[in-house]
Structure 1
Amino acid sequence: MTRWMIGAAAGLALVLAGCGGGNGDMPGAVSAKKLQDAAGDTSSWMSYGRTYDEQRFSPADQINAGNVGQLGLAWFADLDTARGQEATPLVIDGKIYITTAWSKVKAYDGISGKLLWEYDPKVPGETAVKACCDVVNRGLGAWGDSLFLGTLDGRLISLDRNTGKVNWEKVTVDQSKSYTITGAPRVIKGMVIIGNGGAEFGVRGYVTAYSAKTGEQMWRFYTVPGEPGSDKEDHLKKAAETWTGEYWKLGGGGTVWDAMAYDPDLDLLYIGTGNGSPWNPEYRSPQGGDNLYLSSIVAIRPKTGEYVWHFQETPAEAWDFTATQHIMLADLTMGGKPRKVLMHAPKNGFFYVLDRETGQFISGNNYVPVTWATGLDPKTGRPIENPDARYYKTGKPWIGMPGAGGAHSWHPMAFNPKQGLVYIPAQVAAFPYFPEPDWKPAAQGFNVGVNMAAGAMPAVPAVREGAKAATKGVLIAWDPVAQKERWRVDYPGPWNGGLLSTGGDLVFQGNAAGGFAAYSAADGKKLWNFDAQTGVIAAPITYTINGEQYVAVLAGWGGVWPLATGVLSDKSGPVRNISRLLVFKVGGTAKLPAPPPNDKLPLDPPPVTGTPEAIAEGANLYGRFCGTCHGDSAVGGGITPDLRHSSVLHNPQNWQMIVHDGALKANGMVAWSNVMSADQIDRIRLYVIKRANEDKQIGPQ
Structure 2
Amino acid sequence: MSGTSTTASASGGVDDAMLVAADANQGEWLSYGRTYDEQRFSPLTAVNDTNVGQLGLAWSADMDTARGQEATPLMHDGKLYVSTAWSMVKAYDATTGKLLWSYDPKVPREVLVNVCCDAVNRGVAIYDGKIYVGTLAGHLVALDAKTGAVVWDKKTTPEGSPMVITGAPRIVKGKVLIGSAGAEYITRGYLAAYDAKTGNEAWRFYTVPGDPSKPFEGKHLEAAAKTWAGEWWKRGGGGTVWDSITYDPTTNLVYFGTANAEPWNPAARGSEGGDSLYTASIVAVNPDTGEYVWHYQETPEDRWDFDSNQQIIAATIQWNGAPRRVLMHAPKNGFFYILDAKTGQFLSGKPFAVVTWASGLDPVTGRPNVNPAAKYEQTGKPWIGMPGAIGAHSWTPMSYSPKTGLVYIPANQAAQPYNAAAKDWKPSKLGFQLGLDSAKMGLPADPAARAAALAGSTGSLIAWDPIAGKPRWTVQYAGPTNGGTLATAGNLVFQGTAGGEFRAYSADAGKLLWKFPVQTGVLAAPMTYAIGNEQYVAILVGWGGVWDVSPGLLASKSGSTRNISRLLVFKLGAKGTLPAAPPESQRVLDPPPFTGTEAQVSDGAMHYQNSCSVCHGDSAVAGGLNPDLRHSAALSNPQLWQQIVHDGVLKDMGMVGWAANFSSEQIENIRQYVIKRANEDKALEGKAAPGAVTSATPKPGATSSGKPAG
Residue aligning to 1:652? 638
Q: Is the CA contact 1:138–1:184 (under 8 Å) kept in the aligned structure 2?
A: yes
What letter matches 2:144 in structure 1?
Answer: D
Residue aligning to 1:204? 188
Residue aligning to 1:92? 76
Equivalent position to 1:367, from 345, 349, 352:
352
Please say which of residues 396-405 and 647-656 is displaced more in the overlay. Answer: 647-656
Equivalent position to 1:394, from 379, 382, 397:
379
Residue aligning to 1:276? 261
Shift of 1:309: 0.5
* RMSD of aligned alpha carbons: 1.0
What letter matches 2:645 in structure 1?
Answer: V
Distance 1:243 1:344 in 2: 25
Residue aligning to 1:303? 288
Shift of 1:472: 0.2
Distance 1:652 1:620 in 2: 19
The yes-or-no answer on 1:639 pairing with 2:625 is: yes
Residue aligning to 2:556? 570
Distance 2:65 2:217 in 1: 44
Deviation by residue 1:561-598 (Cα, 9 ceiling, x = unmatched) = 11000111101231110000000011111111110111
Q: Is the CA contact 1:68–1:586 (under 8 Å) kept in the aligned structure 2?
A: yes
Q: Is the CA contact 1:97–1:108 (under 8 Å) kept in the aligned structure 2?
A: yes
Residue aligning to 1:8? none
Deviation by residue 1:535-565 (Cα, 9 ceiling, x = unmatched) = 0110000001121000000000000111000
Q: Is the CA contact 1:153–1:175 (under 8 Å) kept in the aligned structure 2?
A: no
The yes-or-no answer on 1:530 pairing with 2:519 is: no
Shift of 1:288: 2.2
The yes-or-no answer on 1:404 pairing with 2:379 is: no
Alignment of 1:153-172 (within 5 A): 153-172=137-156
Residue aligning to 1:502? 488
Alignment of 1:581-620 (within 5 A): 581-620=567-606
- Give 3-state SS (helix, strand or coil) of 1:39's partner: coil
What letter matches 1:508 in structure 2?
Answer: F
Alignment of 1:26-105 (within 5 A): 26-105=10-89
The yes-or-no answer on 1:241 pairing with 2:226 is: yes
The yes-or-no answer on 1:453 pairing with 2:439 is: yes
Shift of 1:136: 0.3
Please say which of residues 603-612 and 341-350 is displaced more in the overlay. Answer: 603-612
Residue aligning to 2:400? 415
Q: Is the CA contact 1:26–1:144 (under 8 Å) kept in the aligned structure 2?
A: no
Residue aligning to 1:12? none
Distance 1:175 1:409 in 2: 28
The yes-or-no answer on 1:430 pairing with 2:415 is: yes
Distance 2:598 2:182 in 1: 35
Distance 2:276 2:675 in 1: 42
Distance 2:561 2:50 in 1: 34
Q: Is the CA contact 1:88–1:541 (under 8 Å) kept in the aligned structure 2?
A: yes
Q: Is the CA contact 1:605–1:692 (under 8 Å) kept in the aligned structure 2?
A: yes
Distance 1:89 1:582 in 2: 11
Alignment of 1:144-159 (within 5 A): 144-159=128-143
Shift of 1:26: 3.6
Identity rate of aligned residues, in percent? 59
Distance 1:240 1:542 in 2: 45
Residue aligning to 2:694? none
Distance 2:408 2:619 in 1: 34
Distance 1:638 1:390 in 2: 33
Q: Structure 1 232/176 Cα, relative in aligned 2: closer, same or farther at 3 Å? A: closer
Q: Structure 1 499/566 Cα, relative in aligned 2: closer, same or farther at 3 Å? A: same
Q: Is the CA contact 1:154–1:175 (under 8 Å) kept in the aligned structure 2?
A: no
Shift of 1:354: 0.2
Deviation by residue 1:99-136 (Cα, 9 ceiling, x = unmatched) = 11100001110011011000000111110001111110
Equivalent position to 2:275, from 290, 297, 314:
290
Distance 2:350 2:320 in 1: 16
Shift of 1:522: 0.6
Alignment of 1:315-334 (within 5 A): 315-334=300-319
Shift of 1:25: 6.1
Alignment of 1:118-267 (within 5 A): 118-228=102-212, 229-267=214-252
Distance 1:30 1:286 in 2: 47
The yes-or-no answer on 1:679 pairing with 2:679 is: no
- Give 3-state SS (helix, strand or coil) of 2:188's partner: coil
- Give 3-state SS (helix, strand or coil) of 2:223's partner: helix
- Give 3-state SS (helix, strand or coil) of 2:364's partner: coil
- Give 3-state SS (helix, strand or coil) of 2:589's partner: coil
Deviation by residue 1:313-361 (Cα, 9 ceiling, x = unmatched) = 0001111001000100100001112110000000000000000100000
- Give 3-state SS (helix, strand or coil) of 1:465's partner: helix
Distance 1:554 1:453 in 2: 36
Deviation by residue 1:419-446 (Cα, 9 ceiling, x = unmatched) = 0000000000100000111211001000
Residue aligning to 1:7? none
Distance 1:313 1:635 in 2: 34
Shift of 1:286: 2.8
Distance 1:522 1:255 in 2: 36
Equivalent position to 1:439, from 417, 425, 428:
425
Shift of 1:266: 1.3
Shift of 1:43: 1.9
Q: Is the CA contact 1:537–1:556 (under 8 Å) kept in the aligned structure 2?
A: yes
Q: Is the CA contact 1:428–1:494 (under 8 Å) kept in the aligned structure 2?
A: yes
What letter matches 1:688 in structure 2?
Answer: V
Distance 1:230 1:133 in 2: 34
Distance 1:314 1:627 in 2: 26
Any runs of at least 4 consecutive aligned residues in structure 1 with deviations exceeding 4 A, and if so which?
none
Distance 2:669 2:126 in 1: 49
Shift of 1:668: 0.8
Residue aligning to 1:13? none
What letter matches 2:552 in structure 1?
Answer: G
Residue aligning to 1:313? 298
Q: Is the CA contact 1:29–1:145 (under 8 Å) kept in the aligned structure 2?
A: yes
Normalising by structure 2, report the TM-score: 0.95
Shift of 1:28: 4.5
Please say which of residues 210-219 and 224-233 is displaced more in the overlay. Answer: 224-233
Normalising by structure 1, report the TM-score: 0.96
Q: How many residues align?
A: 678
Shift of 1:29: 1.4
Shift of 1:375: 0.4
Shift of 1:175: 3.2
Q: Is the CA contact 1:512–1:537 (under 8 Å) kept in the aligned structure 2?
A: yes
